[in-house]
Structure 1
Amino acid sequence: MTSFISHTTVDCTDAYTLSKWWEKALDYRENPDDPNRPGDEECPIFSADGRHSVLFIEVPDAKQVKNRIHFDLRPVEGARDKELNRLLELGATQVSDLRKPDGSGWVVLADPEGNEFCILRSHQELAAAAAQG
């Protein structure tokens, strides 16, 4: 017998607002039969295929230190830097730039409540780098 991850939970101070931000960042959706509303203390969002969900739960305390667990995002298509710009335009904050001159590495960002996450190169970029050498 084993277990599987039912969903990923993110503690936050405003579940509705943060769920809406991550919906845009991940292209996830809420359940149309049970939509999230302002003031809801729990707001789930789901991947288009329904295989993954993120649950935002309001907690009384604000984030204090670095996350112990975080998302590593990889663009579905296109380039890491283009996705980086899109996320910054959505309201992410750049925390650390760990890109290397050869194009490898990642960028650490924070969502509007300060939860860190990383943006990696896309599979297309990785394949192109591997083909070059």
Structure 2
Amino acid sequence: MAVDWKLVVDCSDPLQLARFWALALGYEVEDNSALIDRLLEAGAVGENDYTVVDGRKVWRLLAAVRHPDDPVDAASGTGLGRRLLFQAVPEAKQGKNRLHVDLHVGPGQRDAEVRRLTEIGAKVLHRVEAQGGSHVTMADPEGNEFDVQ
């Protein structure tokens, strides 16, 4: 039996990373405002648990992005397919990632994509030329490494 999954990224600013990765991947930032309203009404969360961005209530410590073609739970705004969840943690990133995302942008598109990602907040860490392939290792705004192939 196959297992459903999401990739969870520990970070210090979930809202910033969700915006970055939504732009980087062409994904959509999840809209959890209906869920937040329902939980507020039930007294399950308080005003310190959310903030307002672009007129919508968003979690302070969690933000997710989802593939635009995947289904969404209308009651919560949660994606039911490919998604990344960013959660705030108190400690800063230490050392190299043990897991990273590879972006496959297609033949001849890598340099343009690296420029675009740099414009939205990524940094080039190094270029790798190896037997069998090459890629550019980059870092998102919080230093999480990813490769562009």
Higher relative contact order (CA 8 A, sep 6+): 2
Note if 1:110 corresponds to 2:139: yes
RMSD: 2.3
Structure 1 gaps, min length 5? 121-133
Q: CA separation in 1, counterparts of 2:132 and 2:57? A: 39
Q: Is the 8 A contact 1:72 1:117 kept in 2?
A: yes
Cα distance, 1:36 vs structure 2? 6.5
1:1-133 equivalences under 5 Å are 1-4=1-4, 6-32=5-31, 34=33, 37=58, 40-50=60-70, 51-75=81-105, 79-99=109-129, 104-120=133-149
Provide the residue aligned with 2:52 in structure 1.
Answer: none
Q: CA separation in 1, counterparts of 2:115 and 2:129? A: 14
Cα distance, 1:82 vs structure 2? 0.9
Which structure has the bigger radius of gyration? 2
Structure 2 gaps, min length 5? 34-55, 71-80
Identity of aligned residues (%): 37
Cα distance, 1:40 vs structure 2? 1.6
* Structure with the higher strand share, 1 or 2: 2
Cα distance, 1:85 vs structure 2? 0.9
TM-score normalised by structure 1 residue count: 0.78
Cα distance, 1:73 vs structure 2? 0.4
